[in-house]
Structure formats: C-alpha cells, structure tokens
Structure 1
Amino acid sequence: MMRRCVLALTRQRRPDRAVDTVRAGFQWLANISSPVGATESQRCSNTYATSCATAPDILSRETSASSSSEMLVDSFGRFHNYLRISLTERCNLRCQYCMPAEGVELTPKSELLSHDEIIRIANLFVTSGVEKIRLTGGEPTVRKDIEDICLHLSSLKGLKTLAMTTNGIVLSKKLPKLKKCGLSALNISLDTLVPAKFEFMTRRKGHSKVMESIDAAVDLGYNPVKVNCVIMRGMNDDEICSFVELTRHKPINVRFIEFMPFDGNVWNVKKLVPYAEMLDKVRQKFKGVERLQDHPTETAKNFRIEGHVGTISFITSMTEHFCAGCNRLRLLADGNFKVCLFGPSEVSLREPIRAGVDDAGLKEIIGAAVKRKKAKHAGMFDIAKTANRPMIHIGG
C-alpha cells in the first residue's frame, strides 16, 4: 500500500510542488518527528513540532472498532468518533482571545478545502466510525455554501450528530434552513451579557443579534442550546451568575470555558479563572447545584441547578485536563489534520488529495497521525510557551 501511495503522488503531483507534495503525506508514515504538510505558502513550519506530554496515564477503553476504523484508534486504545471541521478562517468578529489585535494572515482561498474535498474527507471518517461532526471556523456561517455542506454531511450514512459552533451574528436568519439541511446540535459563543462589553471584547457590534439567535434556536426546538462562554478575570468573571440565570426558564446549557493560550491572544495565568473558583461562585449564589453523570468522552463537567430548566457546564482544559477520554480529531480549513487542540503537530490531507492519492492512501496518512497522538497535552505553563496557531486558524 505504501508503494502504491508514493507512486500515486509521484505520477500525479503538480510540477511546481513536486517535492513538497510527497513530503506532505508521507513524512508521518516514515516516522519523522517534524510536522508535515509544509509547502512554501503553508504556515506549518517546524515551529509546530509536537509538544504534548507523554505520561502513560490514559485509561484504556474497549471499543467496537472494526478493521475499517483502526485508523481512528490511537496507541492508547482511544477510539476517535468525533471530528471537528473548520470550514473557513474568516470571521465577522475579532474576539480578543481568538485573534491577535493586528489580525492574522488568512490562507489563500485556493489553499482552502473545497466543498467536494470536505465531503470526501468527512465521508472517509464517517465510514471508518466517526458518528459526530462539528462545523467550526472562523465563523462557519460566513461560508456561502454552508447549507449545502450541511445537507451533504447530514446525509452520510452512519453520522448521528451534525453540530455547529457559531458566534450567532447571522445565525437567526439562516437557522431555519440549516435545521432543514440536517443541523442537529448547536453551540453559540457569547462571553458577555453587556452590549458595551461585547463590543470591547469582540471589537465589533452585534450583541442583540447573538441574543436573537439564542432565542431562535430555542424556538426551533434545539435542546439544549449550548452557550459557550470563555471566562477571563477582570473581564467577565463578574457575570458568571448572570449567565447561570439564562438557564432558569429555557433549555440552555451555559458552558463556562477556562481561558486557554493560543498564538496572539496574550494569555496570562492571571487572567485564568479556575473551574473550582467559578463553581464556588455559582454555589454561593444558587441552591441545589448537583453534579450530573458525565459520559467518559465528555469534555465538560455538567451540573443541574434546582428549579432550572437548563444546565451549566465547565470546560477545564487548563486546570483539570480530560485527555484520558479524548475522542476528538480536527480538520482545519486549509486541509491540515490535527489530533490535539494543544499539540502543534499537523499533517496535510489537502496536498495528497490534490496529488491524486486514493482513499486507502489517505487512511494510511490519517491512521499514522492518530497513532502518534500523545497520552495527554502538556501542562498549563508548557502549553503557554508552546508555539501553536491562533484559534482563528485552528477552528473553535
């Protein structure tokens, strides 16, 4: 199989990228430790070498993976049935924790995955065992073919959940059609309930539009409507209990997210509000805060509050990692494949596809990348010092 894949690349590569195209798919297969997918125009240089910790504390789990889904099983026995696909690097907001103040250089359109390439890769993952796909960005709703992408993805046999994470700015208008096209789960990002603060944090107007989108999602029957809230000390940590109030009468799940470091977002440990501190604030204000039973692959710690229709959750990426149950993989808008949010290693799938590699060859590339996934990501301070792409490039 290796020989056939290399021959395919050699015969069908474009003349101007002959050497780089071969490297794009097969340095990983040759167990080279440097990251893959480096073309002249790609920004994935050796800066993105893997930095994840290797402590073998993963809880091995039995899976029902068939031979066709072996590519989704890593060396610690974790079966990855959840794929996050970034549809674009473009966004209609400029959130401070996501994008540097000076902005970022966006990948040229010709180097982003096309509609057909997205569907092909997604189908490859779904036929191998992926049951959930989440569409991210950038802002996925700014992509003109978002409805068509949803329609094709939701039609893939074996896919159980098609979700999307969005900032909600234009969602209320598009959501009825998106639901008809198969969008079955929704996360809406909102970091403040104060319009003036929203404008400061996102560098744009639009708070009322996001609130309209949340209400529209509730009215359309999404249950729960998940609201993602990144908590930063001195910025919005005084609004935690106000966000909890959103869950009193509506089926909303507010997800409080610890502030995470990415290139350009000026991360500082002093801005981090730990999960334990956030939970303590909630318990001081509300009675009957009860921990729910979480699924082994759940990223959040979930709680019910007495008398509330909705729920709250805490995503503790920094203070209490959940790597042991990780079942997530990421496909970036430029076609790079990333096995860990905090691990900077990436491998290109776009280049092998455009060089003519067949599905079997792509499975080898993907499987090799998954096998190289570490037991867990680095510690909080190591992550902060590690070169990684801005969140706008990785996808929310």
Structure 2
Amino acid sequence: MEPIYDQYNRKHDYLRLSITDRCNLRCVYCMPKEGLPFFPDNRVLSQDEIVQLVKNFTEMGINKVRITGGEPLLRTDVVEIIQRIREIPEVKDISITTNGLFLAKKAAALKQAGLDRLNISLDTFKPDVYKEITRGGNIQQVLDGIATAAELGFKKIKLNVVLIKGQNDDEILDFIRYTKDHDVNVRFIEFMPIGNAEADWKQEFVPLDNVFDLCHQAGLAYQPIELAGNGPSDNYQIEGFKGSFGLIHPISARFCENCNRLRITADGYIKACLYWNEEINVRKVISDPVKFRQTIQRALDNKPLNHEMALAQPERIIDKAPTWRHMSQIGG
C-alpha cells in the first residue's frame, strides 16, 4: 500500500463518495428552485463498482470514507453499501451526510451495518423557515431522526448549518445553546457560491466572525477543542456544555490548506477540488487498479493549494471555469 500525495505534499486518506445525485429536497444553497434533471440509473455507479472503487482507494492509503449524495438514504441499497465497505479491512471510519428525513427509519440498520458517524443537515429550528430553505421539507422528520440516532450511540453526530443572511443567521445562539444538553457538534458553514449567481451569494453571505461576536454578547465563554474526525472545522466548546460547535470557512481558504479529501461523483468522476470544473472520469478504469491509480494521481497533480492559488496559477488548471455541477451533484 503506497499513499498518494498532491504537488503540495498533502497526503490524501479521506474519500467523499456520492452514491446518488437524487434528493427529496430542493435546498436554496444546493439546487435551483425548479430542481434538476437526475441521472438515469445506468449513469450512476453500481453497488459493485462502488465497493471495488473503495478497495482501489484503500490500496492508496485511503482509510476514511464518507457517503454523500444527493440524499444517500434515497438509495435503496445504502445499507448494503455500508455493510460491504465495512467488510474492507483497511477502512477505519465510515460516515454519511444526510438531510435526515429517512433517518428515523434507517438509523438502526445503518448502525448495524457498520456506520460510525453521521452528519445531518439542519439549517434552522423553525418549521416555517425549514420549509422555506428546503422548499418543502418537514423539520419534525429530521428532529425525530436526530433523536433516534442519538439513542443508538453513533461515535459522533454533527449538525451542518449553512448560514444564510436573513433566513437563519438570527438562530446562531439557538444552535449554540442546543449543545448545552445535546452531545452533538453544530457546524456553521459559510455559504458557497457553487451553482448560485454571484449577486445572490453576496447578499446572503454571513461572516463566521458573527458567531464569536454573539457568544461574547451573550456572555458565553468558549474554548478551542480538538475533535476526532475528518472535517475542516475549527471547533469550540462552551464551558459546561455537552456538545460543541465548529466553524467551516470555505470562502476564506482556511478550508483548503490541509485538504486531505478526494471526491467521487455519483456518475464516476473524480473532483480533486470542490470549486473548479476540473474532473476526470474514473468509472472506466475501476477494474484496472494500475490505470485507476494513474488517473487519481493525474487529478492530484493538478489540485490547487486553495481556490485563490488556482486563480493565481491558471496554467495548471485543465478547466479554468467554476464547476458546472450544483452542490447536490458533488456531495459537498
């Protein structure tokens, strides 16, 4: 087993693997209002292709796998996929990112199959705001899913909160206070301009410094902490609280410098960088480990240090445009 590195000597040991582009929500930061045409079934990686792909990656030192979508729990064989990945000895950690709508029904089976950790999207505690952000979602299903998962004893539950000006930025303290009695990590995430018009994005962007300002105003003393896992967040805990909160800064580029992740889309393309349009088809070489590794290394050799570095070194970028994919088609 020989680990893989990019041109900046960053070792990559974490795979984000989308198993579907389908989703049962239309979140404002993830998908256009009118929805998207989903891939036909034959364009999406099969269960056998997914398992072989993960095996190939473990030969390159990958030992952490996150299952993403779209909404991965929409895939009827998601439990079998988790179970088969769990059977690969080199995989040490399996997590999933979900909107949580089906979690109450599937959490026990996922835990039994070998899922270690959960990331659940929850941008608000207000039912009407949730319906607005998700364009129709039922928040009670998500809250029921979180409660069910908490009882099952997953290693860690994280709540992903994308901050949007005028929609949920007035709930920052509500989320922080939620961690007083709930052993979860609430992660505040900067709104990214992926699949969104720049003017709309600028109007809706919320600086994460607001989180600290609100803590100071509320008299909440926080301390930096270290959390096990693969995420890019800077984590903090209020004194005496069970849970914690984290800040994820994709826009300010703190997101990038220690990036150790590779992304595979549901239709079998590798994206070494979330933001740029550069991607390479790996589906056709899944059955050939040598060509597969060469293809992955090619993608890594062109991976920028961060988004700004990509702009500063355009000659290194195969495709200089921002990604054509919406967030739901990448997996975050």
Aligned match for 2:301, one of 348, 352, 371: 371
Match of 1:45 in 2: none
Match of 2:7 in 1: 75
- Contact 2:18/2:70 (8 A) holds in 1: yes
- Over alpha carbons, which structure has the higher Rg? 1
Measured after TM superposition, the shift of residue 387 of structure 1 is 4.3
Aligned match for 1:277, one of 188, 193, 210: 210
- Contact 2:118/2:154 (8 A) holds in 1: yes
* Matched residue count: 323
Measured after TM superposition, the shift of residue 307 of structure 1 is 1.4
Larger RCO: Structure 1 or Structure 2 (Cα < 8 Å, ≥ 6 residues apart)? 1
What are the equivalent positions in structure 2 for 1:228-267 lying under 5 Å apart? 228-264=160-196, 267=200
CA distance in 1, matches of 2:124, 2:299: 38
CA distance in 1, matches of 2:228, 2:80: 32
CA distance in 1, matches of 2:293, 2:90: 18
Task: Write the deviation string for residues 359-393 of structure 1: whole angstroms up to 9, x where unpaired.
Answer: 111111111111211111138999xx834310111
Pair 1:106–1:225, CA change in 2 (3 A): same
Pair 1:184–1:387, CA change in 2 (3 A): closer
In the alignment, structure 1 residue 392 sits paired with structure 2 residue 324 = no
- Contact 1:297/1:325 (8 A) holds in 2: no
CA distance in 1, matches of 2:275, 2:212: 24
Task: Write the deviation string for residues 14-54 of structure 1: whole angstroms up to 9, x where unpaired.
Answer: xxxxxxxxxxxxxxxxxxxxxxxxxxxxxxxxxxxxxxxxx
TM-score (norm 2): 0.92
Structure 2's unaligned 5+ residue stretches are: 313-320
CA distance in 2, matches of 1:380, 1:327: 17
- Contact 1:99/1:265 (8 A) holds in 2: no
What are the equivalent positions in structure 2 for 1:197-208 lying under 5 Å apart? 197-208=129-140
Match of 1:153 in 2: 85
Task: Write the deviation string for residues 328-376 of structure 1: whole angstroms up to 9, x where unpaired.
Answer: 00010000111011122000011334xxx51111111111111211111
- Contact 1:223/1:251 (8 A) holds in 2: no
In the alignment, structure 1 residue 215 sits paired with structure 2 residue 151 = no
CA distance in 2, matches of 1:177, 1:304: 31
- Contact 1:74/1:370 (8 A) holds in 2: yes
TM-score (norm 1): 0.78
Task: Write the deviation string for residues 245-267 of structure 1: whole angstroms up to 9, x where unpaired.
Answer: 21011111100001001114664
Match of 2:30 in 1: 98
Aligned match for 1:135, one of 67, 71, 79: 67
CA distance in 1, matches of 2:310, 2:123: 22
CA distance in 1, matches of 2:197, 2:86: 34
Measured after TM superposition, the shift of residue 105 of structure 1 is 2.0
Match of 1:342 in 2: 275
- Contact 1:318/1:380 (8 A) holds in 2: no
SS of aligned partner of 2:297: helix
CA distance in 1, matches of 2:184, 2:58: 29
CA distance in 1, matches of 2:18, 2:158: 19
CA distance in 2, matches of 1:349, 1:95: 29
What are the equivalent positions in structure 2 for 1:148-187 lying under 5 Å apart? 148-187=80-119
Task: Write the deviation string for residues 72-128 of structure 1: whole angstroms up to 9, x where unpaired.
Answer: 211110000000000101011110110011211222211111000011111111122
Measured after TM superposition, the shift of residue 282 of structure 1 is 2.4
SS of aligned partner of 1:169: coil
Match of 2:288 in 1: 358
CA distance in 2, matches of 1:296, 1:143: 25
CA distance in 2, matches of 1:374, 1:295: 26
- Contact 1:229/1:256 (8 A) holds in 2: yes
CA distance in 2, matches of 1:238, 1:380: 34
CA distance in 1, matches of 2:109, 2:9: 39
CA distance in 2, matches of 1:122, 1:268: 35
Aligned-pair Cα RMSD in Å: 2.1
SS of aligned partner of 1:208: helix
In the alignment, structure 1 residue 189 sits paired with structure 2 residue 125 = no
CA distance in 1, matches of 2:135, 2:43: 28
CA distance in 2, matches of 1:76, 1:130: 18
Match of 2:318 in 1: none
SS of aligned partner of 1:239: helix
- Contact 1:336/1:346 (8 A) holds in 2: yes
What are the equivalent positions in structure 2 for 1:86-125 lying under 5 Å apart? 86-125=18-57
AA paired with 1:311? S
Name the stretch that deviates more: 96-105 or 290-299: 290-299
SS of aligned partner of 1:282: helix
AA paired with 2:305? A
SS of aligned partner of 2:159: strand
